[in-house]
Amino acid sequence: MALSPRESGEHIVKNAKFVTVIPEGIERLANEVVSRLKSGELDPKNFSQNDVHPKCDDAHAIEWIFVVDTLNFCFWTPNDYTKYKVDGYTGYFALCAAINRAMLEGIDITNAAYYSKIDVDTLRKVFRSDDGVTSVPLFEKRLSCFHEVGTRLLENWQGKFENVIRAANNSAERLLQLVVSEFPCFRDEADFEGKRVSLYKRAQILIGDIWSCFEGKGLGKFNNLEKITMFADYRVPQVLIHFGSLVYKPELLEVLNKDTILENGDPREVEIRGASIYIVEQAKDIILKKMADKELELNKEHVNSILIDHFLWDYRRKHADELEHIPFHKVLSVYY
């Protein structure tokens, strides 16, 4: 039985050898998040306002989100981090564009009965790049993930991820448990210092996307969203370092500066991701405490790790040039 993502973050930071967490930097991050919440910049409405995302009243919204988050991993290659493009988009947005293009072309890409058996040639067509040459990274893994989740949906859930959501009865924690138990490709875990730890990046972003798309209503209403942590990837730590909340030890910096490809589960990778979870949880706790002490007045439903992650991820994209000098860890993995 793995520790929860929050418990994992605490265990990892407590036993870390390669990273250091700086409380003053966490306070600085919390203050930045507060200012963005006050301004209205951080809001679940932002999800559906993005052109590549579905609206909550789109009939395909839930199944689209599940498909995208099943495939939401590793858009870089060791030699070029932004070469794979679809309709001019890079990274995650290229994936969204590819799925949307497939739908416009009449490919039944959000139907589990279809994608559970999708063939290599069709999936290559779905993922074709703007230059016609660059392949989406880890193509075979994406094919395998599609077959795995589609088959499981057909076997246990009448082919609909919506039925998994309904079975969770508005519990984000229960939905997280269902996703990682039913679909092994979401089971983002590692062994670290005598404990089984969980990071669950894609499983948690799946829940975050559902909550954001439906703005916390209907299928997107969850009673215990505080159980969901940030989505530990390889780019957000650059922002945590920028704000002074995370520091890499010299021996880790040396490895990262050499562009070394780490194995998934490497203690250095686990420490970076676990520390990211810990820092965001601490920042969230600081904000909630100030609200409890009447020092702050904010919409409590918006003080969660999902929106803090949105801030960090957007900040990295908006300030890419400014942050590019900060090295990031590289792992070829289906988990992020």
Q: Which residues are catalytic?
A: 233
The CA R_g of the chain, rounded to the nearest whole Å, is 19
Distance CA 334, CA 336 (A): 6
- Let me know if 1 is exposed, middle or buried by CB neighbors in 10 A (0-12, 13-18, 19+): exposed
Q: What angle do helix axes 23-39 and 305-318 make, rounded to 10 degrees?
A: 90
What torsion do the CA atoms of 78, 79, 82, 84 make, to the nearest 10 degrees? Answer: -80
Burial 287-321 (b: 16+ CB within 10 A, else e): bbebbeeeebebeeeebbbbbbbbbbbebbeeeee
DSSP H or E run through 12: helix 5-14
Burial 101-129 (b: 16+ CB within 10 A, else e): bbbeeebebbbbeebbebeeebbeebbbb
Residue 127's identity, in one-letter code, is F
**Nearest in space to 19 (alpha carbons), one of 271, 233, 278, 273:** 271
Place of tokens 């700086």: 22
Residue 87's identity, in one-letter code, is D
